[in-house]
Amino acid sequence: MAMSAGKRLRQMIEERRALLVPGVMNALAARIADDLGYEALYITGAGVTNALLGLPDVGLISPTQMADTIACVRNITDLPLIVDGDTGFGNAVNVWHTVRSFERSGANAIQIEDQVFPKRCGHFDGKAVISAAEMAEKVRAAAEARLSPDFLIIARTDAYATHGLEEALTRARRFIEAGADITFVEAPRRIEDIRLVVNTLPVPQLVNMVIGGQTPSVGLDDFRALGVGLVLYANASLQGAIQGMHNALSHLHDHGVLTENDGLVATFAERQRLVGMAEFKRLEARYAVADSD
């Protein structure tokens, strides 16, 4: 029997080989990442907010919108899915419901954080965190809500920015005691701090590489040497898409014409290949009804 997506994800992270995970904001981005050979995907709350609503990552997306996105992504890939659960969309009871909803929609892991609601991007200034006790109860609710033992709970703390590294470590330990499988100290500013986090905490660690953010850029080999569990580029696909759309639409605006030969767009044929048009043509042929007299 093939290993489930959840078991695969747990195994890959526990190897502590710095599993590289791209963020996706919709099913099309997920198809591209799957096509390129990534081993797992992260559905980013910031990316879904930016792409679906055209608004900033300041706690505006709803759990229903996230669950709908999970279902769309799950429909087109068998890869393990890690999902951004923000603050859990409320108190511990809301976290319980969010975990059930996301898992039934197709997620294999959820990340929840200890920011005050409404939250904001972890690399923004002006963050605030709830008490460690309240967050620990959210983690406990998440762990007890999961239907599969292989559904992973990732507990993030933003206390590094608000209270310092020692408080972040103290909180992470408490979250592990409450049932977190992985912890995530957001936005460390020094590689030495990442090393300390990895060496201090007993569970695998997630490092979030926000392009243009506060954590210094380090290569994957360096993260492997540190023993990091997974390295997340949550908005690489979104920022790449923004730049690509800007380039293509600027050319069209300036020149009044845009073709495949300009090197700014995917070809029509590639677009159809990517979304599986050939399979739907096969299905149309299979279920076609012959004309009757």
Any domain includes 200:
yes
Any domain includes 148:
yes
pLDDT at 214 over 90: no
Q: For 19-59, how does the pLDDT look when each residue is reduced to its tens digit (9 = 90+)?
A: 999 999 999 999 999 999 999 999 999 999 999 999 999 88
Any domain includes 246:
no
Instruction: Give the DSSP H/E element, type plus range, for residue 112.
Output: strand 109-113
Helices 27-36 and 63-74, interaxial angle, to 10°?
40
Q: For 95-138, how does the pLDDT look when each residue is reduced to its tens digit (9 = 90+)?
A: 999 999 999 999 999 999 999 976 655 555 657 999 999 999 99
Region 52-74: mean pLDDT is 97
Any domain includes 290:
no
Confidence of residue 213 (pLDDT cuts 50, 70, 90): confident
The helix/strand/coil state of 184 is: strand
Q: What is the CATH number of the domain that holds 106?
A: 3.20.20.60
What distances in angstroms separate CA 199 from CA 95, 222, 227, 266, one per listed residue? 29, 14, 8, 44
Any domain includes 157:
yes
Any domain includes 63:
yes
Instruction: Give the DSSP H/E element, type plus range, for residue 23.
Output: strand 19-24
* pTM of the full structure: 0.94
Any domain includes 164:
yes
Q: Taking a C-beta distance cutoff of 8 angstroms, is the pair 111, 122 a contact?
A: no
Q: Please count the structural domains in the chain.
A: 1
Gap between the Cα atoms of 24 and 150, Å rounded: 22
pLDDT of residue 212: 86
Burial 207-228 (b: 16+ CB within 10 A, else e): bbbbeebebeebeeeebbebeb
Any domain includes 46:
yes
Residue range(s) defining the domain that contains residue 126: 5-241
